[in-house]
Amino acid sequence: SQQGEEDPQALSIQEGENATMNCSYKTSINNLQWYRQNSGRGLVHLILIRSNEREKHSGRLRVTLDTSKKSSSLLITASRAADTASYFCATDAKYGNKLVFGAGTILRVKS
Amino acid sequence: DAGVIQSPRHEVTEMGQEVTLRCKPISGHNSLFWYRQTMMRGLELLIYFNNNVPIDDSGMPEDRFSAKMPNASFSTLKIQPSEPRDSAVYFCASSLKVQATNEKLFFGSGTQLSVL
């Protein structure tokens, strides 16, 4: 079963707007990662946040982690048409060795 | 570096045929993963290797699936015999260190498999 579940399933915004995607998970984790997948391509790593971190930034990306709520969010600021893609969170079970992906959020940025 | 290289990019075969998917990880990477992606089930981890040794194959759906990693630069995923429900995109990924959950994965472009 999937460890992480993204919300919403799909999101459509205008270029320049911010996009927020959420990920909830069930068991304790060591790390949480976010990936992007463009249509017909493999996944590309965006950012990794550890369980003892609360927030991380990378360019226009901001990731937060709330371990008490077992949730994470990915914020893309000033979105561009090129941000159109599926976004996945991936988590490990705290005592496991596997990275398990959620179902993903499909983001469409309209120009 | 060329990244993770998968072949073929597309494979169309008939039910009952043997299918072999190939992967070349990034040079120097010590872990290799095979994932399968479908609309219904999302991304599923099939098997992963550390230092060429299979560590966890609990995600392999049936005995029809097998994977090998004879050396650090090559892995295969074989389906024999193939069935229509095996139709999916199969991804290979690699990571630098053995403890993959705190390492980022580098994915190949995938093999789109269609079993008729």
Q: What is the pLDDT of residues A61-94, one digit of tens each?
A: 999 999 999 999 999 999 999 999 999 999 986 5
Q: Could you give the percent of chain A with pLDDT greater than 70?
A: 93
**Which residues between 56 and 95 in chain A have a beta carbon less than 8 angstroms from any beta carbon of chain B?**
88, 92
Give A99's contacts (C-beta < 8 A, 6+ positions apart): A33, A90, A91, A92, B33, B45, B100, B101, B105
**pLDDT higher than 70, residue B28:** yes
Residues of B in contact with A41 (CB under 8 A): 109-110
The answer to whether B104 contacts A43, with C-beta atoms less than 8 Å apart, is no
Binned at pLDDT 50, 70 and 90, residue A37 comes out as very high
Q: Could you give the percent of chain B with pLDDT greater than 70?
A: 97
What pLDDT does B1 receive? 63
Answer whether A98's CB lies under 8 Å from B55's CB: no
How many angstroms away from the CA of B106 is the closest CA of chain A?
A: 7
The answer to whether B101 contacts A102, with C-beta atoms less than 8 Å apart, is no
Class of residue B18 by CB neighbours under 10 A (exposed 0-12, middle 13-18, buried 19+): exposed
How many angstroms away from the CA of B112 is the closest CA of chain A?
A: 9
**Which residues between 36 and 55 in chain A have a beta carbon less than 8 angstroms from any beta carbon of chain B?**
41-45, 48, 50
Compute the count of residue pairs across chains A and B with CB atoms less than 8 Å apart: 54
What pLDDT does A1 receive? 44
> What token pair was written down for B84?
């229509």
**Which residues between 11 and 40 in chain A have a beta carbon less than 8 angstroms from any beta carbon of chain B?**
30-31, 33, 35
Residues of A in contact with B100 (CB under 8 A): 97-99
Count the alpha carbons within 13 Å of B78 in the hemisphere toward its beta carbon: 11
User: pLDDT averaged over chain B?
Assistant: 94
User: pLDDT averaged over chain A?
Assistant: 92
Interface test with A, best of B5, B24, B43 (most A CBs within 10 A): B43
What pLDDT does B68 receive? 97
